[in-house]
Amino acid sequence: MAKSPSTLEDDLFTLRLSRSARDLWPMLEGLYGTHPDYAAFKDRLLAALRKAARDRSPDLRRLDLQRDLEPDWFQRPDMAGYVFYIDRFAGTLKGVLDKLDYLENLGITYVHLMPCLKPRPGDSDGGYSVMDYRAINPDYGTMADFEAVTAALRARGMSVCIDLVLNHTAKEHAWAKKAAKGDETYQDYYLMYDSADLPEQYERTLVEVFPDNAPGNFTHYPDFGKWVWTTFNEHQWDLNWANPQVFLEIVEIMLYLANRGVDVVRLDAVAFMWKRMGTRCQSEPEVHMLLRALRACSRIAAPAMIHLEEAIVAPAEMLPYLGRGRHDGREGNLAYHNSLMVQFWSSLATRDTRLMTHVLASHFPEVLTNATYATYLRCHDDIGWAVTDEDAATMAMSGQAHRNFLSDFYEGTFPGTFARGALFQENPETGDKRISGTLASLAGLEKAVADGDAQGIDWAVQRILMGHALIAAFGGIPLIYMGDEVALLNDDGYRDVPEHAHDSRWIHRPRMDWAAVRERGDHSPAARVYQGLRHILARRKVTDALHAGYATRIIRHDVPGLFALARLAPTGAMVCLFNFTESWMNVPEGLVRGAGASLMYDALSDNTVQLHAGAVVLPPYGRVWLS
């Protein structure tokens, strides 16, 4: 007799629970095994997982099965992402529905809706100060509107990513309000202290994230007599992940969002989740245990969903978020390749790719297990110059001097710079100077247009397209930040908005210029960038060698200004070359063939490359994908 659908679903749940058991229970035992409520916690967690699995809609259950059968779905070359604030792109969630043709025509298959869960009123750190994880920002619409968008995107084969902030909630969150009123159960959801003694001890080894407007890591609240851990802002209270009830609450929220149609959860501020006296309280071992357990919960109850772990840290600290050592292949599926982004801008400024080649060849594995990178040229955040003193020293440079140079260059104050940006959170004590700015303005378009410099405009366009060809070929999911496809410039109007004026990151969060999209001329910078990027994504989609499961090998060489890598596909290597200078470049045929390119066919232009005097010749900011 055939089994009923409910029995089949129960069997699937049992099989998935068994599959992920070693990723879940040993992690939780290590984290919470000595907690007096541990046994009851396990029972509640199992019940929550079972309920979430039963609540999946039929189409999401089908997607669960499809992605169980095709676990490399997010590594395939047809994946290309687009990232935007809902209000700045389309006004509301309903407005997003009117823009789906635009996204599909560009070649997008992955849409990141920037923070859209209900934030606190006023300054909300760009939406990352969340007061209700189960509600949508009312300025954007309702949860029903959100589900309509996820369903429409799913029907077009597009995945949906949203942000889930794990380190903290807004102080207006229901948990925080109860804690402020003296409820000890909810006070244990946060990190609260009766005196300044322990906070002062922790502060000795902590760093300040926002020293300008949120110095220190703790806030004293005289009205209820507590010191509260507030890493980022006074209105963002750090959660106490040593409390198993916090883990359970977040799992239920995460699966609630999965059942609303979320494919990718971007887990925000994960490095800060676990606190240990005498450390920076970043990337402690327990963080990786927590993230592995959270991933297991998704694989059990909603296996169509994967995790993007936001950890903008040095390579040795970042790679474990993709699973290394005992967590290999069992933690995050995606993490931002911050070093690739930083080195792109560093090499553009210096016209020298040696540091880029050294960093990417020395610190990153050629292949990852069940994981890949989110590659990008910029994002909603500032750019911090993550160049270590040790790496700089290999190039006979001072790390501090090089970081200062990059800040000056991209702020637009260094002699001869092409860039126009803005400083963000300058720290006089450490010398740290981060940079804000749109891709086009940092790449030189704003200055060139202001100067009436036709050559400068062309070079800026080519820098933008070369960068996108790089992130499309490197390995991972290339992410396009809203407006970069039409070369939007800096928006200085943020200074006139009181809740934005203190934060220069709003300079690179302009509203989408739909008039410019409709009216761009055939030879305008916007049109050239749009058509060039659309072409890059179309060529990526049909180039099997760019599957993220294949190794990426950085090629060491002695050609000044050239960055080279090989994608090691089973059918043969694809050698990708990028000219980071304004000069023509000759790349010796021997270098290309030695790296594995047996045919001089450029998959990017879909043309055969003719050699000249035994060399591949690249124009200024030229790029090829040679098979």
Quote the pLDDT of residue 5.
66
Quote the pLDDT of residue 590.
95
Q: CA of 39: how far to CAs of 33, 42, 289, in Å?
A: 8, 5, 19
Q: What is the mean pLDDT of residues 454-464?
A: 98
Decide if pLDDT at 432 tops 80: yes
Q: What is the mean pLDDT of residues 153-162?
A: 98
Q: Write the pLDDT tens digit of every residue in 70-108.
A: 999 999 999 999 999 999 999 999 999 999 999 999 999
Quote the pLDDT of residue 485.
96
Quote the pLDDT of residue 522.
77
Alpha-carbon distance of 234 to 170, in angstroms, equals: 9
Decide if pLDDT at 340 tops 80: yes
Minimal CA–CA distance to 272: which of 206, 211, 204, 338?
206
> Which position has the higher pLDDT, 425 or 300?
300
Quote the pLDDT of residue 516.
79
Minimal CA–CA distance to 404: which of 337, 346, 341, 467?
346
How sure is the predictor about 2, in pLDDT bands with cuts at 50, 70 and 90?
low
Question: What topology does CATH give the domain 551-626?
Answer: Immunoglobulin-like (2.60.40)
Question: What topology does CATH give the domain 174-238?
Answer: Oligo-1,6-glucosidase; domain 2 (3.90.400)
pTM of the model: 0.95
Cβ count within 10 A of residue 105: 10
Helices (H), 33-82: 38-54, 58-69
- Sorted by where each begins, the domain ranges of the chain are 76-157, 174-238, 551-626
Angle at 485 between CA 480 and CA 486, to 5 degrees: 150
Alpha-carbon distance of 601 to 15, in angstroms, equals: 46
Q: Does residue 429 have an active-site annotation?
A: no
Quote the pLDDT of residue 519.
73
Q: Write the pLDDT tens digit of every residue in 488-510.
A: 999 999 999 988 888 899 999 99
Residue 210 has phi, psi (to 5 degrees) of: -120, 75
Eight-class DSSP state of 120:
P
Quote the pLDDT of residue 3.
60
Q: Does residue 268 have an active-site annotation?
A: yes
Quote the pLDDT of residue 428.
76
Q: What is the mean pLDDT of residues 186-214?
A: 92
Structure token digits, residue 39: 């046994």
Q: Write the pLDDT tens digit of every residue in 594-625.
A: 999 988 999 999 999 999 999 999 999 999 99
Q: What is 76-157's CATH number?
A: 3.30.750.90
- Burial of 223 (C-beta count, 10 Å sphere; 0-12/13-18/19+): exposed
Quote the pLDDT of residue 598.
86
Residue 619: which residues within 8 A CB-CB, separation 6 or more? Answer: 462, 579, 584
Eight-class DSSP state of 492:
G
Q: What is the mean pLDDT of residues 378-395?
A: 94
| Contact status, residue 478 vs residue 375, Cβ threshold 8 Å | yes
Place of tokens 């990028």: 578
Place of tokens 């189960």: 134
Four-residue CA torsion sign, 362, 368, 373, 377: positive
Quote the pLDDT of residue 4.
63
- Min mean pLDDT across 273-282, 384-393, 454-463, 518-527 is at 518-527
Alpha-carbon distance of 186 to 182, in angstroms, equals: 8
Quote the pLDDT of residue 7.
86
Helix or strand or coil: residue 111? strand
Minimal CA–CA distance to 313: which of 361, 366, 269, 360?
269
Decide if pLDDT at 1 tops 60: no
Alpha-carbon distance of 510 to 500, in angstroms, equals: 12
User: Catalytic: which of 163, 268, 382, 432?
Assistant: 268
Which string of DSSP letters, residue by residue, matches 525-571? HHHHHHHHHHHHHHHHHT-GGG-TTSEEEEPP---TTEEEEEEEETT
Q: Are strands 264-268 and 306-309 parallel, antiparallel or unpaired?
A: parallel
How sure is the predictor about 430, in pLDDT bands with cuts at 50, 70 and 90?
confident
User: Catalytic: which of 163, 252, 310, 391?
Assistant: 310
Q: What is the mean pLDDT of residues 543-569?
A: 97
Decide if pLDDT at 114 tops 60: yes
Helix or strand or coil: residue 379? coil
| Contact status, residue 616 vs residue 592, Cβ threshold 8 Å | yes
Helix or strand or coil: residue 427? strand
Helix or strand or coil: residue 446? helix
How sure is the predictor about 377, in pLDDT bands with cuts at 50, 70 and 90?
very high
Minimal CA–CA distance to 400: which of 391, 408, 389?
389
Which secondary structure element, helix H or strand E, spans residue 119, and what is its range?
A: strand 117-119
